[in-house]
Amino acid sequence: MTRVIVDRNAGFCGGVRRAIRSTGKLLSGGPAPGRIVSYGQLVHNREVTDALAEQGLQSVASLEDVADGDTVVIRTHGIPPEEERALRWRQVEVSDFTCPRVKRVHQGIVARCKEGYRIVIVGDPLHPEVKGLLGYAGDSGVVVSKAEEVRGYTDRRKIAVFAQTTITPQLFTEVVQAFEQKGLEMAVSNTLCPFVVNRQRWIQRFSRLVDASLIIGGKNSSNTRKLYTLASDNGPAYHLSGAADLNLEEILEYPLVALTAGASTADSTIQEVLAALQAAGAVIEHR
Ligand code: SF4
Protein backbone atom coordinates (compact mmCIF):
# COMPACT_ATOMS: atom_id res chain seq x y z
CA MET A 1 0.00 0.00 0.00
CA THR A 2 1.33 3.46 -0.95
CA ARG A 3 1.41 6.24 1.64
CA VAL A 4 1.31 9.78 0.21
CA ILE A 5 2.65 12.57 2.44
CA VAL A 6 1.07 15.87 1.33
CA ASP A 7 2.54 19.29 2.02
CA ARG A 8 -0.18 21.01 4.06
CA ASN A 9 0.80 24.39 2.55
CA ALA A 10 0.68 23.20 -1.08
CA GLY A 11 -1.32 25.32 -3.51
CA PHE A 12 -1.97 28.98 -4.21
CA CYS A 13 0.27 31.51 -2.46
CA GLY A 14 -1.28 34.67 -0.99
CA GLY A 15 -0.35 36.82 -4.00
CA VAL A 16 -1.91 34.50 -6.57
CA ARG A 17 -5.04 33.98 -4.45
CA ARG A 18 -5.47 37.77 -4.21
CA ALA A 19 -4.98 38.31 -7.98
CA ILE A 20 -7.52 35.61 -8.90
CA ARG A 21 -10.09 36.85 -6.37
CA SER A 22 -9.70 40.50 -7.45
CA THR A 23 -9.89 39.64 -11.16
CA GLY A 24 -13.01 37.55 -10.50
CA LYS A 25 -14.61 40.58 -8.78
CA LEU A 26 -13.74 42.79 -11.77
CA LEU A 27 -15.32 40.31 -14.18
CA SER A 28 -18.51 40.01 -12.16
CA GLY A 29 -18.77 43.76 -11.55
CA GLY A 30 -21.20 44.47 -14.40
CA PRO A 31 -20.55 45.71 -17.92
CA ALA A 32 -17.23 47.52 -18.45
CA PRO A 33 -16.72 50.14 -21.21
CA GLY A 34 -14.22 47.87 -22.99
CA ARG A 35 -12.58 44.48 -22.61
CA ILE A 36 -10.95 43.25 -19.41
CA VAL A 37 -7.50 42.01 -20.41
CA SER A 38 -4.60 40.62 -18.43
CA TYR A 39 -1.15 41.68 -19.54
CA GLY A 40 0.34 38.18 -19.86
CA GLN A 41 -1.30 35.00 -18.56
CA LEU A 42 -2.75 35.87 -15.13
CA VAL A 43 -1.42 32.69 -13.47
CA HIS A 44 0.49 29.71 -14.79
CA ASN A 45 -2.52 27.46 -14.41
CA ARG A 46 -4.61 26.40 -17.38
CA GLU A 47 -7.68 25.47 -15.34
CA VAL A 48 -7.84 28.90 -13.69
CA THR A 49 -7.15 30.87 -16.88
CA ASP A 50 -9.79 28.85 -18.77
CA ALA A 51 -12.35 29.57 -16.03
CA LEU A 52 -11.51 33.30 -16.07
CA ALA A 53 -11.63 33.33 -19.89
CA GLU A 54 -15.15 31.90 -19.71
CA GLN A 55 -16.09 34.84 -17.49
CA GLY A 56 -14.70 37.20 -20.15
CA LEU A 57 -11.01 37.73 -19.30
CA GLN A 58 -8.78 38.08 -22.35
CA SER A 59 -5.02 37.98 -22.32
CA VAL A 60 -2.65 40.18 -24.33
CA ALA A 61 1.05 39.50 -24.82
CA SER A 62 2.00 43.07 -25.73
CA LEU A 63 0.85 46.57 -24.73
CA GLU A 64 0.26 47.24 -28.42
CA ASP A 65 -2.64 44.80 -28.22
CA VAL A 66 -4.39 46.93 -25.57
CA ALA A 67 -7.19 49.09 -26.98
CA ASP A 68 -8.56 52.36 -25.60
CA GLY A 69 -11.42 51.65 -23.18
CA ASP A 70 -9.88 48.35 -22.00
CA THR A 71 -9.30 47.52 -18.34
CA VAL A 72 -5.78 46.13 -18.02
CA VAL A 73 -5.01 43.69 -15.22
CA ILE A 74 -1.39 43.66 -14.06
CA ARG A 75 -0.52 40.23 -12.70
CA THR A 76 1.41 39.33 -9.53
CA HIS A 77 4.86 39.58 -11.21
CA GLY A 78 4.43 43.35 -11.77
CA ILE A 79 5.71 45.31 -14.77
CA PRO A 80 8.50 47.86 -15.35
CA PRO A 81 7.56 51.45 -14.40
CA GLU A 82 7.92 52.72 -17.97
CA GLU A 83 5.25 50.24 -19.10
CA GLU A 84 2.97 51.28 -16.25
CA ARG A 85 3.46 54.96 -17.16
CA ALA A 86 2.69 54.19 -20.81
CA LEU A 87 -0.54 52.49 -19.75
CA ARG A 88 -1.59 55.30 -17.42
CA TRP A 89 -1.18 57.83 -20.27
CA ARG A 90 -3.66 55.86 -22.34
CA GLN A 91 -7.46 55.82 -22.22
CA VAL A 92 -7.41 52.58 -20.24
CA GLU A 93 -8.23 51.53 -16.68
CA VAL A 94 -5.37 49.86 -14.82
CA SER A 95 -6.10 47.21 -12.16
CA ASP A 96 -2.78 46.56 -10.53
CA PHE A 97 -2.63 43.16 -8.80
CA THR A 98 1.16 43.10 -8.45
CA CYS A 99 1.88 41.03 -5.35
CA PRO A 100 2.57 43.33 -2.36
CA ARG A 101 5.79 41.39 -1.74
CA VAL A 102 7.01 42.21 -5.26
CA LYS A 103 5.94 45.86 -4.76
CA ARG A 104 8.15 45.99 -1.66
CA VAL A 105 11.11 44.86 -3.77
CA HIS A 106 10.34 47.66 -6.28
CA GLN A 107 10.36 50.18 -3.41
CA GLY A 108 13.61 48.78 -2.00
CA ILE A 109 15.31 49.07 -5.38
CA VAL A 110 14.17 52.68 -5.86
CA ALA A 111 15.45 53.60 -2.37
CA ARG A 112 18.88 52.00 -2.98
CA CYS A 113 19.18 53.69 -6.40
CA LYS A 114 18.66 57.05 -4.67
CA GLU A 115 21.48 56.16 -2.27
CA GLY A 116 23.81 55.64 -5.22
CA TYR A 117 24.00 51.84 -5.22
CA ARG A 118 24.37 49.70 -8.33
CA ILE A 119 21.49 47.21 -8.21
CA VAL A 120 22.18 43.48 -8.57
CA ILE A 121 19.11 41.27 -9.08
CA VAL A 122 19.67 37.55 -8.58
CA GLY A 123 17.28 35.64 -10.83
CA ASP A 124 16.27 34.67 -14.33
CA PRO A 125 16.71 37.63 -16.73
CA LEU A 126 13.82 36.33 -18.88
CA HIS A 127 11.30 36.08 -16.03
CA PRO A 128 8.63 38.83 -16.09
CA GLU A 129 9.18 39.65 -12.39
CA VAL A 130 12.90 40.25 -13.04
CA LYS A 131 12.13 42.43 -16.07
CA GLY A 132 9.90 44.52 -13.80
CA LEU A 133 12.58 44.78 -11.06
CA LEU A 134 15.20 45.75 -13.62
CA GLY A 135 12.91 48.50 -14.86
CA TYR A 136 12.92 50.06 -11.36
CA ALA A 137 16.72 49.90 -11.28
CA GLY A 138 17.01 51.79 -14.60
CA ASP A 139 20.60 52.16 -15.83
CA SER A 140 21.95 51.00 -12.43
CA GLY A 141 20.64 47.45 -12.74
CA VAL A 142 22.27 44.17 -13.61
CA VAL A 143 20.87 40.60 -13.42
CA VAL A 144 22.98 37.68 -12.21
CA SER A 145 21.55 34.20 -12.72
CA LYS A 146 24.39 32.15 -11.16
CA ALA A 147 27.47 32.61 -8.97
CA GLU A 148 29.93 31.88 -11.82
CA GLU A 149 28.78 35.06 -13.58
CA VAL A 150 30.22 37.13 -10.70
CA ARG A 151 33.76 36.12 -11.71
CA GLY A 152 33.65 38.47 -14.70
CA TYR A 153 32.13 41.38 -12.72
CA THR A 154 34.67 44.22 -12.62
CA ASP A 155 32.65 47.29 -11.47
CA ARG A 156 33.94 48.60 -8.10
CA ARG A 157 30.86 50.70 -7.18
CA LYS A 158 28.87 49.77 -4.06
CA ILE A 159 26.09 47.29 -4.79
CA ALA A 160 22.65 46.50 -3.39
CA VAL A 161 21.64 42.86 -3.95
CA PHE A 162 18.00 41.77 -4.30
CA ALA A 163 16.47 38.35 -5.09
CA GLN A 164 13.76 37.41 -7.55
CA THR A 165 11.13 36.29 -5.03
CA THR A 166 10.97 32.68 -6.28
CA ILE A 167 14.62 31.61 -6.54
CA THR A 168 16.18 29.15 -4.10
CA PRO A 169 17.92 30.41 -0.92
CA GLN A 170 20.96 28.41 -2.04
CA LEU A 171 21.33 30.36 -5.30
CA PHE A 172 20.93 33.68 -3.47
CA THR A 173 23.56 32.72 -0.88
CA GLU A 174 26.02 31.51 -3.54
CA VAL A 175 25.78 34.79 -5.48
CA VAL A 176 26.06 36.93 -2.33
CA GLN A 177 29.14 34.95 -1.22
CA ALA A 178 30.72 35.36 -4.67
CA PHE A 179 30.27 39.15 -4.41
CA GLU A 180 31.62 39.16 -0.82
CA GLN A 181 34.85 37.67 -2.14
CA LYS A 182 35.20 40.70 -4.41
CA GLY A 183 35.41 42.94 -1.33
CA LEU A 184 32.77 45.37 -2.59
CA GLU A 185 30.66 47.57 -0.32
CA MET A 186 27.34 45.70 -0.25
CA ALA A 187 23.78 46.03 1.02
CA VAL A 188 21.96 42.68 0.85
CA SER A 189 18.15 42.45 0.85
CA ASN A 190 16.85 38.92 1.14
CA THR A 191 13.65 39.36 -0.85
CA LEU A 192 12.84 35.67 -1.26
CA CYS A 193 9.16 34.91 -0.74
CA PRO A 194 8.52 32.84 2.42
CA PHE A 195 5.64 31.00 0.70
CA VAL A 196 8.07 29.71 -1.89
CA VAL A 197 10.99 29.11 0.47
CA ASN A 198 8.86 27.03 2.89
CA ARG A 199 7.66 24.83 0.04
CA GLN A 200 11.21 24.39 -1.27
CA ARG A 201 12.38 23.43 2.25
CA TRP A 202 9.49 20.98 2.57
CA ILE A 203 10.28 19.15 -0.67
CA GLN A 204 14.03 19.17 0.02
CA ARG A 205 13.36 17.51 3.37
CA PHE A 206 10.66 15.04 2.36
CA SER A 207 12.09 14.00 -1.02
CA ARG A 208 15.06 12.57 0.91
CA LEU A 209 12.77 10.49 3.12
CA VAL A 210 10.44 9.01 0.48
CA ASP A 211 10.74 6.75 -2.57
CA ALA A 212 9.33 9.26 -5.09
CA SER A 213 7.96 12.84 -5.24
CA LEU A 214 4.98 14.29 -7.07
CA ILE A 215 5.00 18.00 -7.95
CA ILE A 216 1.76 19.46 -9.25
CA GLY A 217 1.72 22.67 -11.27
CA GLY A 218 1.89 24.27 -14.70
CA LYS A 219 4.82 23.22 -16.89
CA ASN A 220 5.51 26.95 -17.45
CA SER A 221 5.47 27.84 -13.73
CA SER A 222 9.01 28.67 -12.68
CA ASN A 223 8.45 28.01 -8.96
CA THR A 224 6.90 24.60 -9.77
CA ARG A 225 9.85 23.70 -11.98
CA LYS A 226 12.22 24.60 -9.14
CA LEU A 227 10.34 22.29 -6.77
CA TYR A 228 10.64 19.53 -9.36
CA THR A 229 14.40 20.12 -9.75
CA LEU A 230 14.94 20.04 -5.98
CA ALA A 231 12.95 16.79 -5.68
CA SER A 232 14.78 15.19 -8.65
CA ASP A 233 18.10 15.84 -6.91
CA ASN A 234 17.01 13.39 -4.20
CA GLY A 235 15.30 10.64 -6.21
CA PRO A 236 12.53 9.88 -8.70
CA ALA A 237 10.22 12.88 -9.25
CA TYR A 238 7.16 13.51 -11.42
CA HIS A 239 5.90 16.92 -12.58
CA LEU A 240 2.14 16.71 -13.18
CA SER A 241 -0.14 19.42 -14.55
CA GLY A 242 -3.07 17.56 -12.99
CA ALA A 243 -4.71 14.18 -12.42
CA ALA A 244 -4.63 13.37 -16.17
CA ASP A 245 -0.80 13.15 -16.03
CA LEU A 246 -0.85 10.66 -13.16
CA ASN A 247 0.54 7.22 -14.03
CA LEU A 248 -1.11 5.37 -11.15
CA GLU A 249 0.42 2.01 -11.97
CA GLU A 250 3.92 3.46 -11.73
CA ILE A 251 3.29 5.64 -8.66
CA LEU A 252 1.65 2.85 -6.67
CA GLU A 253 4.85 0.82 -7.02
CA TYR A 254 6.43 3.20 -4.49
CA PRO A 255 5.68 2.54 -0.80
CA LEU A 256 6.16 6.19 0.27
CA VAL A 257 5.51 9.29 -1.87
CA ALA A 258 5.78 13.04 -1.11
CA LEU A 259 3.40 15.49 -2.82
CA THR A 260 3.52 19.26 -3.09
CA ALA A 261 2.38 21.90 -5.60
CA GLY A 262 3.53 25.23 -7.02
CA ALA A 263 2.23 28.63 -5.95
CA SER A 264 -0.17 28.85 -8.91
CA THR A 265 -1.74 25.40 -8.52
CA ALA A 266 -5.46 25.43 -7.67
CA ASP A 267 -6.65 23.52 -4.60
CA SER A 268 -9.14 21.72 -6.87
CA THR A 269 -6.27 20.37 -9.04
CA ILE A 270 -4.50 19.05 -5.93
CA GLN A 271 -7.75 17.51 -4.67
CA GLU A 272 -8.31 15.75 -8.02
CA VAL A 273 -4.85 14.17 -7.86
CA LEU A 274 -5.40 13.11 -4.23
CA ALA A 275 -8.84 11.68 -5.05
CA ALA A 276 -7.35 9.60 -7.90
CA LEU A 277 -4.58 8.29 -5.63
CA GLN A 278 -7.04 7.50 -2.85
CA ALA A 279 -9.44 5.75 -5.22
CA ALA A 280 -6.52 3.56 -6.31
CA GLY A 281 -5.87 2.57 -2.68
CA ALA A 282 -3.22 5.07 -1.53
CA VAL A 283 -3.34 6.44 2.01
CA ILE A 284 -3.07 10.23 2.29
CA GLU A 285 -1.41 12.08 5.18
CA HIS A 286 -0.89 15.84 5.52
CA ARG A 287 2.35 17.15 7.07
S1 SF4 B 1 5.11 33.54 -4.73
FE2 SF4 B 1 5.26 35.05 -3.09
S3 SF4 B 1 5.95 36.91 -4.13
FE4 SF4 B 1 5.17 35.55 -5.73
S5 SF4 B 1 3.03 36.11 -5.95
FE6 SF4 B 1 3.09 34.47 -4.45
S7 SF4 B 1 3.17 35.52 -2.45
FE8 SF4 B 1 3.73 37.01 -4.03
Q: Is 196 in the pocket of ligand 1 (CB under 6 A)?
A: yes
Q: Is 75 in the pocket of ligand 1 (CB under 6 A)?
A: no
| Alpha carbon nearest to ligand 1 atom 7, residue | 15
pLDDT at 221: 86
pLDDT, tens digit, for every residue of 37-58?
Answer: 999 999 988 888 999 999 999 9
Active site residue 83: no
Active-site option among 47, 83, 129, 250: 129
- For residues 9-29, average pLDDT: 93
| Alpha carbon nearest to ligand 1 atom 8, residue | 15
Q: Does residue 108 share a domain with residue 167?
A: yes
Residue 150 sits in a domain whose CATH number is 3.40.1010.20
Q: Does residue 199 share a domain with residue 173?
A: no
- For residues 52-66, average pLDDT: 95
pLDDT, tens digit, for every residue of 135-156?
Answer: 999 999 999 999 999 999 999 9
pTM over 0.85: yes
Q: Does residue 216 share a domain with residue 134?
A: no
Task: Give the chain's mean pLDDT.
Answer: 95
Q: Is 14 in the pocket of ligand 1 (CB under 6 A)?
A: yes
**Which of 196, 198, 199, 200 for a ligand 1 pocket mutation test, highest count of atoms within 8 Å of Cβ?**
196
Using pLDDT thresholds of 50, 70 and 90, give the confidence band for residue 118: very high
- Angle formed by the axes of helices 128-137 and 100-114, to 10°? 30
Q: Is the pLDDT of residue 219 over 90?
A: no
CA 194 → CA 123, 240, 269, distances in Å?
16, 23, 22
Q: What's the gap in Å between 15 CA and the centre of ligand 1?
A: 5
Using pLDDT thresholds of 50, 70 and 90, give the confidence band for residue 30: confident
pLDDT at 45: 84
pLDDT at 240: 96
Q: In what order do the strands lie in the sheet with 237-240?
A: 237-240, 212-216, 256-261, 3-6, 283-286
pLDDT, tens digit, for every residue of 156-211?
Answer: 999 999 999 999 999 999 999 999 999 999 999 999 999 999 999 999 999 999 99
Q: Does residue 105 share a domain with residue 29?
A: no
Q: What's the gap in Å between 192 CA and the centre of ligand 1?
A: 9
pLDDT at 46: 83
pLDDT at 44: 83
Q: d(Cα 122, Cα 268) in Å, to the nearest integer?
A: 33
Among 44, 51, 54, which Cα is nearest to 127's? 44
Q: Is 117 in the pocket of ligand 1 (CB under 6 A)?
A: no
Using pLDDT thresholds of 50, 70 and 90, give the confidence band for residue 212: very high
Last residue of a domain, one of 99, 122, 153: 99
Q: Does residue 109 share a domain with residue 30?
A: no
Q: Is 102 in the pocket of ligand 1 (CB under 6 A)?
A: yes
- For residues 266-287, average pLDDT: 95
pLDDT at 112: 98
Residue 244: give the domain boundaries: 3-12+194-286
Q: Does residue 84 share a domain with residue 21?
A: yes
Among 55, 62, 77, 74, which Cα is nearest to 264's? 77
The total domain count for the chain is 3
pLDDT at 33: 75
Q: What's the gap in Å between 83 CA and the centre of ligand 1?
A: 21
Type of residue numbered 195:
F
| Alpha carbon nearest to ligand 1 atom 2, residue | 193
Q: Which atom of ligand 1 is nearest to the CA of 223?
A: 1
